[in-house]
Structure 1
Amino acid sequence: MQNRLSIYLICSLLLLAVLAVVSLYMGVYVFEKHSFYEIFRGLIYHDGTIDPADEFVLMQLRLPRIVMAILIGSALSVSGTCLQGMFRNPLATPDLIGITAGASLFAAVTIVLGAYIRPYIPEFLQYSLLSVMAFVGSLITMIMVYRISTQNGRTNVVMMLLTGVAITAMGFAVMGLLIYFSKDDQLRDLTFWNLGSLGGATWTKNTILGIVIAVAYYFLINKGKALNAMLLGEKDAQHLGIPIERIKKQIVLLTALMVGTCVAFAGTIGFVGLIVPYILRLVFKSNYHIILPLSAVFGSILLLLADTISRTIAPPSEIPIGVLTAFMGSPIFIIILIRSRNTM
């Protein structure tokens, strides 16, 4: 099985690499040097063969955006996969159970009221206030959903979804008030968070994202066998020696951390954590030992593909990436609901 997983990972990584190179050339701006080798050589040796405008577009616009798409797609997909394994239900994704809405709400509050909050917090937190607040919002929401929907070790799926609906509705209500009272520049920022975009990608943001995801994956990416055991029930998994409570706490905390950071940097991007695990589950059933690591790669592929389409389908304008992922995910959500209606 380990050999199979290695083959799948190598093939999916090659597909991601090819898509990244193709995405590099997609867009309104056309590079003066059309050969990938010429561009790469010019960047490495700095021999003056690459045009400064080409270098700027490549290094400051497209590459940071491609890297952010890879990181955020991977993080959202793994978050959805871990939550589905923990709740033992394919509908448990960050956006459907309200985690994304909670992170977006706290980010929106920071955008509009941040000027009044910053004087009362330590100086070292002021520059990262938005990210911290998004994480706090996602963490509070995750804990609320888990506490309300889980009783005696069993998760009530209907209660889980209703909790997510309630939190999302509250988020929309507060967001409406914030939009009503916001200024023009704040209104533009709020629109950005609601629709989702990778247009603000920078190397600094990607570095922070990379660190957060690396820490989260250190604890989560090898939890496939534990999630397989949890499918049998928490008591049976404990009899097999699985530290259930510790794993659940790790999933709750690290999922909130990843989702909060993604929302802080790119706004609301939904359904990635639903689409990828669902497709992988069709192929590999419910074997999280294979699904979990593959979801890290295929989430990147999905979001990079969506971002490439968003910035090339109607040039020179850009379609918000959250709109595209919603178009992709809504039909799959309906299919899952139809297939699960007898068990809910």
Structure 2
Amino acid sequence: MELLEKYKTVRERSETICSPLKTEDYVVQPVVDVSPPKWHLGHTTWFFETFILQPNVTGYTEFDPQYNFVFNSYYESVGSRVIRTDRGNLSRPSVEEIMQYRRHVDHAMEKWLSKPIPPALEPLLILGLNHEEQHQELLYTDIKYILGHNPLMPPYDRNRATIASNGHPQEWIDMPAGIYDIGYQGNGFCFDNELGRHQVSLGHYAISSTPVSNADFLEFINAGGYTDFRYWHAEGWDWVKTREIKAPLYWYYIDGQWQQYGWQGLQPIKPEDPVCHVSYYEAAAYAAWKGFRLPTEFEWEAAADKFHWGQRWEWTESAYLPYPGFKKAPGAIGEYNGKFMVNQMVLRGASEVTPPDHSRKTYRNFFHPPLRWQFTGIRLAKS
């Protein structure tokens, strides 16, 4: 796909994701981890304006100089910004003005892309497109949180199909002890945290061919898994007690039946579907209850060609750390991943809301252990 066509496709998809929303839905920020949809639309636009158009396109006119403060996310080298917790307090710029901002930047970008661009800028453009695709996944997760925490629990899209089980029986995939290559290798795109291909020594292990299902997790709930400290990390047990956690996010026990909020509103749990919206704490506790464990990210990657993945982001037992030889890029782009390599756990795979062609077996997602608003699930391993 040519760069101009790719650019148009990615930009249009962000707005398509938001098309079922009412105007009021664009502004809501229920918790700090969720950003208002209109902020995502503005921030992804700001990326192209700030890092490509302003420094590289002669005669480009900035849409609004104040937008750098509003839509900068965490790039300290680019200047001050609205703190994350206050994004939902911004009634202005309006949704209409942000759409005008997108048109302004898209017009300039499409004009720039209609001619050959300097080869040195192509990696930055590709990064910008992948950055917007990351925010497309966040748009889905944030929209679901916004609507799912409205007492009316309105559906996002009644015609949107929900993910179903892959239909394969659970088996254990045996992996021999040995030296395995880890990390991205090739000529395509990857994020900097995937680089530094290296070898790791793994002992003999086995990994499940399928993720944990809703039915599997219901057994944990019914066995009192949320009330037995023996299966939980200390932090996880404190989290369960403090937050009074009794089930995955969006699960509700109503009239003697478990129901789950999804794209079509509140629906009965489908036992065969992979469990979703669980924290690392819950994933680790479930694994301990079963007498198994979570795989390390290296075990997951080494075996990834042997099982079906991509329904849920899968928690691993690995802390988010740099690979050997990792170096931050110079300037603002160097703030992209490396600054977050502390107090987070790695997830592997992809999910039902990951954009097309945006996943790789080397992709390293990462979140803090208690978070579960993403489409996170569980795959078991054993030694």
Q: TM-score, normalised by structure 1?
A: 0.33
Q: Indicate the structure with greater helix content.
A: 1
Q: Which has the higher contact order (CA 8 A, sep 6+)?
A: 1
Q: Which has the larger radius of gyration?
A: 2
